[in-house]
Amino acid sequence: MNKRLGVLTGGGDAPGLNAVIRAVTRSALRQGWEVIGFLDGYAGLIENRNVILTSNYISGLLHRGGTILGSNNRDNPFHFPVPSEHGIEYRDMSDQAVANLKSNNIDCLIAIGGDGSLAIAHELAQKGARVIGVPKTIDNDLPATDQTFGFDTAVTTATDALDKLHTTAESHHRVMILELMGRDAGWIALVSGIAGGADIILIPEIPWQLDNVIAKIKERQNEGKHFSIAVVAEGVKDPTGKFVVRQHIPTAHTKIRLGGIGPVLAQLIEETTSIECRATVLGHLQRGGSPSASDRVLATRYGVKAAQLAMDGQHGLMVCLKGQDIESVPLDLVARGTRTVPPDSQLVQTARALGICLGD
């Protein structure tokens, strides 16, 4: 019997997932291995729902967004929802997940995901499963890698939105605010804000004050610039120091769903200055669409490296980008916190040198 790799995509979707699946499969098939794709993240592994990935199955995937295998950010094998006579109960189904890997003769599972999905992968590895992790998130907030695939496409989408907001802001002499994803990290907001010519960028890593934001807007008015563009990350706290929460989800890996700081900031600016202000929440547009060329290449390199490690008999690792090279690190490193923007980083210094207000 041929040796087999398993692959699944977990957590939120991101441009480039299909590119990883394609790279893993093509690399393995060329070495005489088979590849089994588990459907809908860890749910497919627990319920043994899978497909055999052939050369024809993965044809035409490189430019496609989303994931042909499906994904979710709810089904944790160690806390899995199971229907019962009392409604939904949560049980530890991790033994079933490991058993299904064995029954399908999977030599190594390649788990593509963010912090939650890779933390689960590490827990499965501790139960004896052979696992290789591939870092994915548009937020770019995973430790032990210089960049995750999906990030570049999200930044490109946000920058395009800022280009469009510029024209309407200038026409109507408004303050236009763009709220972006990122959770506790401000990477998308900072990079797209610089690329999109924002005047104000607020990120979770740098505390801000409303007076400083207002001062920047008035400074521009005094210079004859009767519009301003502000970018704000969803994880930025309001002036009272509280997160703006859109939804509470007790059963999810991330218990709160952030969102709404953009409209809050718009209202504060209007109340303080009487300047017309509009907020746009870009939301899931940042997750969708065809991956950028950069993300296609990075995702492909990750997939090839993951397959090579697995076929070489290595496991318990996560592939990563270090400088210009694809390397690997112990999988448990992903559980060691969030990679946030250093307040004294060169990117922050670049923004300050341009006169961009960071709120502090």
Candidates 13, 139, 199, 332; catalytic one: 139
Annotated active-site residue 141? The verdict is no
C-alpha span between 100 and 249 (Å, rounded): 29
Tokens 């592994």 locate to 45
Instruction: Tell which residue, 334, 337, 336, has the closest CA to residue 125.
Output: 334
Categorise residue 182: left if φ over 0, alpha if ψ from -120 to 50, beta otherwise.
left
Tokens 């592939």 locate to 319
Torsion, Cα 247 250 254 257, to 10 degrees, reads 0
DSSP notation for 73-131: SS-BTTBEEEEETTEEEEE--HHHHHHHHHHTTEEEEEEEESHHHHHHHHHHHHTT--E
C-alpha span between 293 and 128 (Å, rounded): 37
- Amino acid in position 274: S
For residue 345, CA distances in Å to 19, 172, 190, 342, 352 come to 31, 35, 11, 5, 11
Just list the catalytic residues. 139
